[in-house]
Amino acid sequence: MYLVAASTCDDLAELRADGALWRRVRRYNLPVQLALGAAERVHPQLRDPAHAAVLSLAPCWGGSAALHDWIERVGARAQSGTLGNLRINPVHTLHAIDNLALSDLALALGNQGYGLGLGSAPGQAWAALELLLERDDAEGLVLAGDHAGPDRLDAGLGVALGFARDARELDGRRARLLAVEREPAPADVHPSASAGLARLLAALRDGPAGPWSYRVPAAEGDGLDAITLRWELA
């Protein structure tokens, strides 16, 4: 698979500047907004986004300040036996959902291709790349968004990567993903659905022409394997 488009998004101001996009995503939580913001710059570079495979990663640190506020109120009302009287903004229930980015993007693209949401466990981003390699879709899109940490609901990062089976260039060079290799190597991790993919993109920009290996930093892996991505850069 050739990497043919990529984008990151960490600034909601960029999304707000696009009126149509902001109207679409404003009710979502930050990880979903940022993932969709990044995807919005990637899918137009695919030839047939309506039939591309879409792999969406659930945030490792989901939720939102509004959801957490609701949880606090539910907890208090539950203790006092008055939960039935609590009024809930149904929009905030969306912030608990883990497949929202996939659903929204499928809706926006009218996507009829293979769609899969991968869960919030660390290292699932690399499973997404493995999945694309295993399948024979002509094009694929991986998107992820996450908060900066469990107590950092004010900041986050979205990433999207577009792949194609046929050889195409990204920023004047070809980057072909050949394999995802693993060896058992338990490690502590810093869970994030998107940070590892963003670091990969930064490293790819500086990768030399020819065979190139990217060793996923242990903290951005799944905690069980040492993961190496094999690329051919030209």
Partner 1 sequence: MSARVVVTGLGALSALGDTPEALWEQLCAGRSGVRRQPHLTACGLRATAGGAVASLPFELPARQVELGRRAADAALAQAQLDPGAAGLIWTSGLDSYQLTPQGLRRRLASECFQALAARHAHPRRMIAVACASGTQALGEATRLIRSGRATACLAGGSSTLLSPLYASGFAALGAVATDVEGEDPALACRPFDVRRRGFALAEGAGALVLESEAHARRRGAAVLAEVVGFGSSQDAFDLNRPPPDGAGAERCLRRALADAGLEPRAIQAVNAHGTGTRVGDTAEASALRRVFGEPGPPVTSVKGALGHAMAAAGALEAVVCVLGLREQRVPPTVNLDQPDPECSLDHVLDARELAHEHVLSCSFGMGGQNAALILRRGDEHA
- Taking CB under 8 A as the binding criterion, the range among 31-39, 92-100, 141-149, 213-221 that sits at the site for partner 1 is 92-100
H or E segment to which residue 176 belongs: strand 175-184
Options 6, 30, 34, 118; binder of partner 1; rule CB under 8 A: 118
Give the Cα separation of 34 and 11 in Å (integer): 8
Biggest CA-to-CA distance, the chain? 66
Residue 188 or 206: which CB sits closer to partner 1? 188
**Residue 66 found at the interface with partner 1 (CB under 8 A):** no
Q: How far is the CB of 74 from partner 1 (least distance, A)?
A: 5
CA-to-CA dists, residue 74 to 29, 79, 227, angstroms: 19, 9, 41
The runs of H, that is alpha helices, within the chain are 12-17, 19-25, 30-42, 65-80, 90-93, 100-109, 124-134, 195-206
Options 48, 69, 72, 169; binder of partner 1; rule CB under 8 A: 72
Options 34, 60, 153, 175; binder of partner 1; rule CB under 8 A: 60
**Residue 182 found at the interface with partner 1 (CB under 8 A):** yes
φ, ψ dihedrals at 146, nearest 5°: -155, 160
**Site residues for partner 1 per CB under 8 A:** 58, 60, 62-63, 71-72, 74-86, 88, 90, 93-94, 96-100, 102-104, 106-107, 109-112, 114-122, 124, 127, 130-131, 134, 182, 191, 222-225
